[in-house]
Amino acid sequence: MHDQNYVYINGKFVEREKASVSVFDHGLLYGDGVFEGIREYSGIIFQLKEHMVRLYNSAKYIRLPIPLSMEEMEQAIISVLRKNNLKDAYIRVVVTRGAGDLGVDPKLCNRPNIFIITESMESVLSLSEPKVISVMISSYRRDSTDATSHEVKSLNYLNSVLAKIEANEMEVNDAIMLDRRGFVSEATVSNVFIVKDGSVHTPSGASGILRGITRGRVIRLCEELGLEIKERDITPYELFTADEVFLTGTKSEIVSVGKINSVVIGKSSPGPVTRSIYRAFRKAVSRREEGVPAFEESYAYRSK
């Protein structure tokens, strides 16, 4: 039984066990929709503005009109957190094309569906240093930017699901995917960083990555810490021979990679650069200016 009982669906609060959408929703039938995963830390919705910009840009790219303004969407998110009295949470915002028929044509869908799910989530940042994981290089290539581009945070994640299945079969925590050219792209749901000779490197948008919100904040943290940071193409060779490798994501936050295909990276433990970024990120998420407060009256939800 969950303490948080309500899901937001199209402006209404629905009990979790009763929350549903039509089986004819094109988000279900064709993966036709967009979403965001967002974190709330101690009542502060981390990087909410940045998440909203990405959500609406994703929707714009697939020509999906969102029936709420960006401000109204923010207020809806706040309303669910308040309804469920959650101050440390994971938030899933989903916009689907809506119900249509069994054809692929989006013109057959009359109105998009919006639902927001919130769940209590303890931060892994409560640990004194990053968690260490093992990964593999997936045989599945990341979809190219002129196909189902992962620049769009869409509901179509089968490319990542297949890579995750492969990681499960190899009994490792995750898989790193290469792009069609053979350069490092990203992990199944996380961005990749390497550290070499004290400088930090991460794949650029050319490799088909989702420009992660956590990734963006880590890039800025590197600049604030005086670390050299470069966005560029990275080869598998550079990945295996890096001094440090770490992954970033909204849900996973920052995790250190100890092994890739059973090859030990660095000393198989978080390196000094990863640790310094991790410490800086821990401090950042607790600052009010890093997001939007969910429990202040100035941000109260104003229903129509």
Tokens of 161: 């699901």
The Cα–Cα gap between 125 and 51 comes to: 20
Query: Which structure tokens are listed for 130?
Result: 């990053």
Cα distances (Å, whole numbers) of residue 201 to 53, 93, 143, 223, 245:
25, 30, 22, 12, 10
Residues sharing a CB contact under 8 Å with residue 195, sequence separation 6 or more, in sequence order: 201, 242, 243, 244, 245, 246, 271, 273, 274
Contact criterion met (CB below 8 Å) for 221 and 241: no
Which sign does the torsion angle of CA 209, 76, 99, 251 carry?
Answer: positive
For residue 115, CA distances in Å to 103, 141, 221, 294 come to 23, 31, 32, 18
Determine the 3-state secondary structure of 234 from DSSP. coil
Q: Which of 273, 198, 184 is nearest to 232 (CA)?
A: 184
Q: Is 153 a catalytic residue?
A: yes
Tally of residues, the chain: 304
Q: What is the DSSP letter of 106?
A: G
Q: What's the rounded Cα separation, in Å, for the pair 160 and 138?
A: 10
Residue 110, Cβ density class (10 Å: 0-12 exposed, 13-18 middle, ≥19 buried): exposed
Residue of 12, 107, 131, 153 marked active site = 153
| 8-state DSSP, 159 | H
Which residue from 166, 195, 168, 169 is spatially nearest to 178, judged by alpha carbons? 166
The residues annotated with a catalytic role in the active site are 153
